[in-house]
């Protein structure tokens, strides 16, 4: 861990005697936090709402955030293997946590959870999902769900209604294609795992969460006919052109922007996309809408996902400082401030939101979606996102293998056979994340 105090203070300390300057540097212990991509506005918000107030409240610590972009995971793996890396460890979900915990790269958080009251403050389900081999290694930074965003203005103009079944969804997508629109505004140019957003959607909406749960617990194989039907359906949508011709060249944000401009009709995406609505919809005089993704049978399924997790580096020289940062984040004050300016990425799993106060500028659409997800989780009526519940190697193959199916290099059956074989190996090795029993 490099100390940054002298670099930050600049030339103003040049005239000070050497010993007092070193003593000043030692008074503040650095806390490094590597973050993924963030817009300039979001970077400013993290500085204003997290870094500055935390450092003011903790004069013994010096929190700094390094924005590492889309290569964060790769850089983090290399750093952790060499015994370095940030104090606060950000991952893309529990499947990443399991491999790091197994390698001894993360610090168990059980003592901090008891001492700082996290067990009482956070939803029990997410505390369980942060465990590996019976110990707590990660806190969920945000929990999320998948659904269907659409351009309500475009829908009203064409007399369309939000689909409530898979059949209605397909009929609408076909009509959009007939009008020269891309049915699904989607892309993976900047985030290849966007593929699994769509896999997760069909697993829950076509195969159903009960069957996904059975596959995750080993009660049925991933080659089960219900799972095969889901993958076949996703492949059918691809071959029909629902994802458009530029899926591999559009970023997530560019694809979502097409929905606002009316080039695309809908976006099967996650609640993280709420952060893009203020940027694109008002400037296009369009109104955004969001509904649960239609299912083959019954109401929409809210697939539960942990978008990212926060842990402490086992090699951290300031673990107490890192724990203090986590404790600062998981508070009513920080939740209120951050979700008032940046929706979709900071839905921290606080147990009690009664003291949370959001800005009146927050879209009611976002608040409603989060209430629906919270109610589904509370009632045990939720589905499963692959990046939250699959072990790492299985999840990695799920992402790359789906492309091979789309590009006709692999059949759905062969894809699922390899997926099942990989899952069984990881299950036998104890690498499957905790799967809470369904209510």
Instruction: Give the tens place of pLDDT for each residue, 371-411.
Output: 888 777 777 778 999 999 999 899 999 999 999 999 999 99
Q: Are 290 and 151 a contacting pair, CB within 8 Å?
A: no
Whose structure tokens read 């990212």?
A: 308
Instruction: Give the tens place of pLDDT for each residue, 141-154.
Output: 998 999 999 999 99
Asked if 161 and 15 sit in the same domain, the reply is no
Asked if 402 and 273 sit in the same domain, the reply is yes
pLDDT computed for residue 10 by the predictor: 35
Residue 268 inside a domain? The answer is yes
Find the range with the poorest average confidence among 32-41, 79-88, 264-273, 425-434: 425-434
Asked if 397 and 296 sit in the same domain, the reply is yes
* pLDDT of 103 over the 50 cut: yes
Asked if 221 and 289 sit in the same domain, the reply is yes
Give the residue numbers spanning the domain of 140: 5-144+305-378
User: Mean pLDDT throughout 53-82?
Assistant: 95
Instruction: Give the tens place of pLDDT for each residue, 281-314.
Output: 999 999 999 999 999 987 888 899 998 999 999 9
User: Mean pLDDT throughout 96-113?
Assistant: 93
Residue 195 inside a domain? The answer is yes
* pLDDT of 17 over the 60 cut: no
pLDDT computed for residue 20 by the predictor: 37
User: Mean pLDDT throughout 27-51?
Assistant: 95
* pLDDT of 2 over the 70 cut: no
Q: What percent of the chain has pLDDT over 90?
A: 74
Paired sense of beta strands 131-132 and 135-136, if any? antiparallel
Mean of the per-residue pLDDT values for the chain? 90
pLDDT computed for residue 26 by the predictor: 57
* pLDDT of 25 over the 80 cut: no
* pLDDT of 19 over the 60 cut: no
Residue 66, helix vs strand vs coil: strand
Phi, psi for 351 (deg, rounded to 5): -70, -40
Asked if 230 and 278 sit in the same domain, the reply is yes
CATH number for position 225:
3.40.190.10
Asked if 334 and 219 sit in the same domain, the reply is no
Q: Are 135 and 343 a contacting pair, CB within 8 Å?
A: no
Residue 339 inside a domain? The answer is yes
Q: For residues 94 and 138, give the distance between their C-alpha atoms in angstroms, rounded to a whole number.
A: 8
More confident residue, 279 or 5: 279
* pLDDT of 180 over the 70 cut: yes
* pLDDT of 248 over the 70 cut: yes
H helix count then E strand count, the chain:
22, 12
Instruction: Give the tens place of pLDDT for each residue, 421-430.
Output: 999 999 998 8
More confident residue, 351 or 333: 333
User: Mean pLDDT throughout 107-133?
Assistant: 94
pLDDT computed for residue 16 by the predictor: 35
Residue 439 inside a domain? The answer is no
Phi, psi for 354 (deg, rounded to 5): -65, -25
Asked if 265 and 413 sit in the same domain, the reply is yes
Which of 39-48, 95-104, 376-385 ranks highest by mean pLDDT? Answer: 39-48
Residue 435 inside a domain? The answer is no
Residue 267 inside a domain? The answer is yes
pLDDT computed for residue 119 by the predictor: 96
Q: How many separate domains does the chain show?
A: 2
Count other Cβ atoms within 10 Å, centred on residue 48: 12
Which is nearest to 158 in space by CA: 283, 258, 265?
A: 265
* pLDDT of 11 over the 50 cut: no
Asked if 68 and 169 sit in the same domain, the reply is no
* pLDDT of 183 over the 50 cut: yes
Asked if 102 and 209 sit in the same domain, the reply is no
User: Mean pLDDT throughout 337-352?
Assistant: 91
pLDDT computed for residue 213 by the predictor: 97
Asked if 186 and 272 sit in the same domain, the reply is yes
Asked if 131 and 153 sit in the same domain, the reply is no
Asked if 358 and 404 sit in the same domain, the reply is no
- The 8 Å CB, 24+ separation contacts for 161-165 are 162/289, 162/291, 163/294, 164/294, 164/300, 165/294, 165/295, 165/296
Which of 354, 378, 402 is a domain's end point? Answer: 378
Find the range with the poorest average confidence among 181-195, 344-358, 419-433: 344-358
pTM of the model: 0.80
Residue 266 inside a domain? The answer is yes
Residue 344 inside a domain? The answer is yes
* pLDDT of 50 over the 60 cut: yes
């Amino acid at each position: 861990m490099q100390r940054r105090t002298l670099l930050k203070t600049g030339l103003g300390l040049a005239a000070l005697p050497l010993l007092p300057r070193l003593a000043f540097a030692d008074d503040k212990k650095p806390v490094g936090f590597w973050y993924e991509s963030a817009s300039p506005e979001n970077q400013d918000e993290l500085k204003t709402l997290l870094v500055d107030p935390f450092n003011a409240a903790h004069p013994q610590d010096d929190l700094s955030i390094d924005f590492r972009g889309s290569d964060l995971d790769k850089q983090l793996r290399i750093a952790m293997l060499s015994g370095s890396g940030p104090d606060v460890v950000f991952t893309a979900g529990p499947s990443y946590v399991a491999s790091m915990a197994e390698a001894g790269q993360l610090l168990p958080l059980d003592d901090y959870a008891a001492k700082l009251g996290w067990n009482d403050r956070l939803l029990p389900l997410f505390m369980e999902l942060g465990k590996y081999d019976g110990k707590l290694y990660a806190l969920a930074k945000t929990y999320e769900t998948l659904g269907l965003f659409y351009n309500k203005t475009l829908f009203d103009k064409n007399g369309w209604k939000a689909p409530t079944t898979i059949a209605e969804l397909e009929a609408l997508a076909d009509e959009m294609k007939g009008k020269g629109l891309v049915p699904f505004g989607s892309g993976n140019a900047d985030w290849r795992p966007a593929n699994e957003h769509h896999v997760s959607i069909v697993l829950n909406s076509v195969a159903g969460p009960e069957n996904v749960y059975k596959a995750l617990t080993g009660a049925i194989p991933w080659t089960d006919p219900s799972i095969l039907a889901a993958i076949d359906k996703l492949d059918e949508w691809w071959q029909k052109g629902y994802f458009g011709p530029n899926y591999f060249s559009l970023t997530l944000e560019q694809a979502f922007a097409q929905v606002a401009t009316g080039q695309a009709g809908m976006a099967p995406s996650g609640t993280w996309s709420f952060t893009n609505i203020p940027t694109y919809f008002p400037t296009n005089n369009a109104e955004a809408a969001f509904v649960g993704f239609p299912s083959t049978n019954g109401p929409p399924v809210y697939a539960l996902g942990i978008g990212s997790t926060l842990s402490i580096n086992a090699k951290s020289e300031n673990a107490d400082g890192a724990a203090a940062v986590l404790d600062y984040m998981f508070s009513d004050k920080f939740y209120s401030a951050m979700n008032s300016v940046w929706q979709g990425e900071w839905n921290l799993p606080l147990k009690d939101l009664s003291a949370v106060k959001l800005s009146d500028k927050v879209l009611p659409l976002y608040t409603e979606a989060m209430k629906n997800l919270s109610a589904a989780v509370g009632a045990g009526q939720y589905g499963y996102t692959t990046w939250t519940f699959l072990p790492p190697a299985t999840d990695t193959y799920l992402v790359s293998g789906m492309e091979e199916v789309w590009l006709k290099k692999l059949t759905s059956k062969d894809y699922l056979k390899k997926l099942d074989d990989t899952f069984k190996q990881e299950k036998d090795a104890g690498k499957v994340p905790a799967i809470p029993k369904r209510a």
